[in-house]
């Protein structure tokens, strides 16, 4: 989604994506899904995207993931092998549906520009910020993404 407009263009594009009609069922008192939150307010979602496919040279996989990190400024960390990779990052979106939709397009939209392998998405986890932090605090969630960057498995 990065274009010649830079990060501002990304934010504007994301805002347009999250302005589609609400799919949640309201309670009838003006709030959506009973959350009491502003239905147009963005939230942070922790994304874990898993991809795999035919083996590719490790140097090409690393170079592609590094370019993806450059193109997608919210990328936290990537782990990779010659036939699979895992990408973790934060996405800003109104709801889980919007966050998942953006995440599912990430690999395909950047495949050519970042020269990523022709792998398919084989896993997607989207959790809200509170759930992410609760999992980490309880010791059963993914540890915070340290060190940040692109790393082999």
d(CA 113, CA 97): 26
- In order, the DSSP letters of 89-129 are EEEEESSHHHHHHHHHHHHHHHHHHHT--S-EEEEEEEEEH
* Sign of the alpha-carbon torsion through 27, 31, 33, 35: negative
User: Angle, to 10 degrees, between the axis of helix 58-71 and the axis of helix 96-114?
Assistant: 120
Contacts for 36-41: CB closer than 8 Å, 24+ residues apart:
39/94, 40/94, 41/94
User: Quick one: pLDDT at residue 71?
Assistant: 86
Residues 105-151 pLDDT 10s: 999 999 999 999 999 999 999 999 999 999 988 988 765 555 678 88
Residue 106 in tokens: 């990430």
Helix (H) or strand (E) holding 85: strand 84-93
Task: State pLDDT tens for residues 53-102.
Answer: 999 999 999 999 999 988 887 778 899 999 999 999 999 999 999 999 99
Residues near 29 by beta carbon (within 8 Å), at least 6 away in sequence: none
Could you tell me the pTM of the whole model? 0.71
pLDDT at 28: 37
Instruction: Count the Cβ atoms, other than its own, within 10 Å of residue 28.
Output: 7
């Amino acid at each position: 989604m990065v274009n010649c407009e830079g990060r501002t263009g990304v934010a504007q594009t994301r805002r347009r994506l999250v302005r589609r009609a609400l799919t949640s069922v309201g309670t009838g008192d003006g709030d959506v899904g009973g959350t009491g939150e502003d239905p147009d307010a963005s939230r942070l979602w922790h994304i874990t995207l898993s991809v795999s496919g035919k083996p590719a040279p490790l140097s090409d996989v690393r170079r592609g993931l590094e370019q993806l990190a450059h193109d997608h400024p919210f990328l936290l960390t990537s782990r990779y092998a010659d036939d699979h990779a895992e990408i973790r990052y934060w996405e800003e979106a109104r709801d889980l549906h919007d966050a998942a939709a953006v995440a599912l397009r990430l690999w395909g939209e950047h495949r050519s520009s970042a020269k990523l392998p022709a792998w398919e998405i084989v896993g997607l986890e989207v959790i809200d910020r509170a759930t992410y932090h609760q999992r980490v605090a309880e010791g059963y969630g993914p540890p915070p993404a340290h060190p940040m960057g692109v790393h082999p498995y």
